[in-house]
């Protein structure tokens, strides 16, 4: 019984920590309204269960990478 409780606690902790990392990482790119809107749309789709965590992460990373490349090109 204690093992099940410990596993449940670890799962809850890992999900909570993962959500904090996602929020912190997304907030790093705050200020670009288009990027914020697209990430928000993804977050809503994920929270509604329309996409799974892997698809959310991949699409979010693609958006952020494209944004970083655009920023880099503007600085050149």
**Mind listing the pLDDT tens digit for each residue in 9-51?**
555 555 554 544 455 455 666 678 899 999 999 999 999 999 9
Whole-number pLDDT of residue 26: 54
- What pLDDT does residue 71 have? 84
The number of C-alpha atoms within 13 Å of 3 and in the hemisphere containing its C-beta is 0
Distance from CA of residue 69 to its chain's centroid?
Answer: 19
pTM: 0.58
Q: DSSP label at 52?
A: -
The reported pLDDT for the residue numbered 76 is 79
What pLDDT shows up at residue 10?
A: 57
Other CB atoms within a 10 A radius of the CB of residue 60 amount to: 19
Q: How many domains does the chain have?
A: 1
Domain around 36: 2-75
**pLDDT bracket for residue 73 (50, 70, 90):** confident
């Amino acid at each position: 019984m204690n093992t099940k409780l410990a596993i449940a606690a670890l799962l809850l902790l890992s999900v909570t920590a993962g959500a904090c990392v996602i929020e912190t990482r997304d907030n790093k790119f705050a200020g670009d309204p288009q990027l914020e809107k697209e990430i928000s749309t993804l977050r809503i789709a994920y929270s509604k269960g329309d996409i799974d965590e892997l698809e959310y992460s991949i699409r979010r990373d693609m958006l952020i990478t494209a944004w970083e490349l655009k920023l880099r090109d503007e600085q050149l």
